[in-house]
Chains A and B, each alone.
Chain A
Amino acid sequence: MNLALALPIVAPLVGAAISMMIRHLMIQRIISFIALTISFVSSLVIISTVVADDDIVVSRLGGWPSQIAITLVADRLAAVMLLIAISVVGVVLVYSIGQQATDEHSPAYHPVYLVLAAGLAQAFLAGDLFNLFVAFELLLVSSYVLLTLEGTDKQIRSGVTYVVLNVLESTILLLGIGLVFAATGTINMAELPERLAALPDGVQMGLNMLLLVAFGIKSAVFPLYFWLPDSYPTAPSSMTAVFAGLLTKVGVYSIIRTETLLIPGGQSTLLLVVAGFTMIIGVLGAISHYNMKRILSFHTVSQIGYIILGVGIGTQLGFTATIFYLMLYIPVKTALFLIEGIIERETGSSAFDEIDGLAKRSGFLALLFLIPALSLAGLPPFSGFLAKLAVIQAGFEQGQYVIITVAIIGSFLTLVSMTKIWIGLFWGEVRPVPPDDRIGIMRHHKVMSAASIGLVAATLVLAACAGPLYDFSSDAARQLLDSSLYINAVRGS
């Protein structure tokens, strides 16, 4: 099992190193595929072991005792997040090759992209806080590079804000980890719960807040979301898709770990309030914009609210809803950004006042947009409806009627802004007028379209398999809430 747990991290890193030396585009692409395939297969092995044995898989690199070794841990949540992350990264790799864009042709692109994949895998598998910090740095630094790869004026300007804010976030995280170490003498996630519980309430609260602020900036919750809508839209669409789909979710994943394992607190009014504001402010920001990429970026913020809501409720149903939402939502969001990328590639923009009549040019593209868009707004029978239903159910069980009302209003407003994209881009006379031979958009971007169709199909399949997925989430939530399972698994093996 040691090998399977290490491979999702090691394979992309080794691939990145080789790819950096070779610098030949075709070979780099092949290396990326091989590395990601290895990651994908080993994450399949991990998830099947975790589900089949109903156990938590632990690996200590180097065979040292768990206080010293780099511990990798995979429970159901980590395993499923890893699988989703690697799959999305793979799909977007195909898409970005089809994009034929200048940034993919840069010799730095493939190595850095692989490092991003390694960072994602490490963040989900990390068994100690410092390892988590290193994982954050891996994926942040590669995201800095990918965001500013073209080096245009606009990218540099918003890139600077993004980098400085995330560096400050890392500093706060490291400060939190340092103080946790100072207070408890360990950073191992299996040793921490016991020792943190022995601390005075005030110290616990302070440490919890430091970690929450750091992870909150990363996951872009209210009031720490301001950097996201500013910087994400300037990156190439394929990168925005990965950032919006996965990077913010790493922050959410860390918040879940903090709230269940390190400092379990049950229901958290703070997180509920934060979730409510995040949902509404994000969607209001989306409504006020006239550019598809900006609208989608604001929706990234809004949807984080729904995910955090389950954590705030803090019951098993709440966490079930959160995990269920994460599984169903990540492909939807990524698909929307990929479709936006096709539009931007074809017309050179995604602003409403420059484009009209896309539905007339390509009915299939319109349909492809409609499925994830309605899913994001939470209309049945799409996956977003089921995810929102789970969240609202969890809220009802605890009698949180105010926050449920906010959530429902938020999803109405989401529908409004999706309609706005529909009216702004897809309706009306065709504009800008394409050359005669370029009527069908999808046919001119075969690889990009294939990747997007694959992802949209995946969202439909996920919606169809909602029953088993919900049971899986329920088991994952049970595993999360009983932190002794995690602790014993790490100590015992």
Chain B
Amino acid sequence: MSIAIVVLIAVLFTSGTYLVLQGSLTRIILGVGMLANGVNVLILGVSSRPGDAPIIGRDGEFSDPVPQALVLTAIVIGFGVVAFLLALAWRGWTIDGNDLVEADDEDRRVTAEKIDRDDAVFKGDWL
């Protein structure tokens, strides 16, 4: 497995984990997507030596088709689930106009405050 793939997996996992821990559903969905793709790249990375041909005949070295089949299935499932999550987020937004994921009232308050603060920083009016 080349070092670039390893770094890519690490980046996907760290940023995915960070995003999943946020309070806003949009970020969580992005994080879920990143984590899922991190795992997909990992399976593909560990599957066979880079540069091997796909199955083209019975002669010579070719790469193992099983992990590729696994990853294809996993990608499709991940796509469907993210689509469903986005639909949920949209529905939640039409109901109460925000996309906060809250465990309880206190959690909701803290998250809302943090997002306000982030927005303020983003707009540059925090001074």
Q: Chain A residues in contact with chain B, CB under 8 A? A: 68, 130, 133-134, 137, 141, 144-145, 148, 151, 153, 156-157, 159-161, 163-164, 167-168, 170-171, 174-175, 177-179, 181-182, 185, 187
A164 x B96 contact (CB < 8 A):
no
B80: chain A residues within 8 A (beta carbon): 141
* Closest CB in chain A relative to B98 CB, distance in Å: 11
Q: List which B18-45 residues lie within 8 A (CB) of chain A.
A: 20, 25, 28, 32, 35-36, 39, 42-43
Contacts of B74 in A (CB 8 A): 133, 174
Give the shortest distance, in Å, between B39 (CB) and chain A (any CB): 5
- Beyond known contacts A130-B73, A182-B42: 14 more, CB 8 A cutoff: A68-B66, A134-B77, A156-B91, A160-B92, A161-B103, A164-B28, A164-B32, A170-B77, A175-B39, A178-B70, A181-B46, A181-B67, A185-B64, A187-B66
- Is A153 a contact of B95 with CB atoms below 8 Å? yes
Does any Cβ of A come within 8 Å of B81's Cβ?
yes
CA of A182 to CA of B74, assembled, Å:
16
**Closest Cβ of chain B: how far from A438's Cβ, in Å?**
33
Question: Which residues of A are found within 8 Å of B110, using beta-carbon distances?
Answer: none
Residues of B within 8 A of A145 (CB): 84
Say if the beta carbon of B5 comes within 8 Å of chain A.
no
B85 adjacent to chain A (CB < 8 Å) = yes
Chain A residues lying within 8 Å of B91, measured Cβ to Cβ, are 148, 151, 156
* Contact partners of B84 in chain A: CB under 8 A: 141, 144-145, 163
The answer on a CB contact under 8 Å between B101 and A134 is no
Given A134-B73, A137-B77, A141-B81, the answer on whether A148 and B35 have CB atoms closer than 8 Å is no
Residues of A within 8 A of B36 (CB): 167, 171, 174
Residues of A within 8 A of B96 (CB): 153
For A130, the chain B residues whose CB sits under 8 A away are 70, 73
Provide 6 A-B residue pairs closer than 8 Å at the C-beta atoms, listed in order of the A residue. Answer: A130-B70, A141-B80, A141-B84, A178-B39, A182-B46, A187-B66
Q: Is the interface of B mostly helix, strand, loop or mixed?
A: helix
> Do B88 and A148 touch across chains, with their CB atoms under 8 A apart?
yes
Known: A130-B70, A174-B74. A160 touches B88 (CB 8 A): yes
| B32→A167 contact, CB < 8 A | yes
Tell whether A171 pairs with B46 under 8 Å between CB atoms, given A156-B88, A156-B92, A157-B92.
no
Q: Given the complex, which residues of B lie within 8 Å of A141, measured CB to CB?
A: 77, 80-81, 84
CA distance A133 to B76 in the complex (A): 13
Interface residues in B36-61 by Cβ distance below 8 A to A read: 36, 39, 42-43, 46-47
Q: State how many angstroms separate the Cβ of B60 from the closest Cβ of chain A.
A: 19
Chain A residues positioned under 8 Å from B32 (CB to CB): 164, 167-168, 171
A163 to B77, Cβ gap below 8 A? no
- B72-107 contact mask (Cβ, 8 Å, vs A): 1 or 0: 011001001100110011011001100001110000
Contact call B85/A167, Cβ cutoff below 8 A: yes
Residues of chain B within 8 A (CB-CB) of A181 are 43, 46-47, 66-67, 70
- Whether A164 contacts B101 by the Cβ 8 Å rule is yes
Q: In the complex, what distance in Å separates the CA atom of A38 from the CA atom of B18?
A: 47
Chain B residue, CB-CB nearest to A136: B77
Q: Which residue of B lies closest to A174 (CB)?
A: B39
Chain B residues within 8 Å of A157, by CB: 92, 102
Question: A457 to chain B: closest CB distance in Å?
Answer: 38
Write out the residue numbers on chain B whose beta carbons fall within 8 Å of the beta carbon of A133. 74
Known contacts A141-B81, A164-B101, A175-B42; A156/B95 CB under 8 A: yes
Bound together, the chains give a CA A336 to CA B7 distance in angstroms of: 51
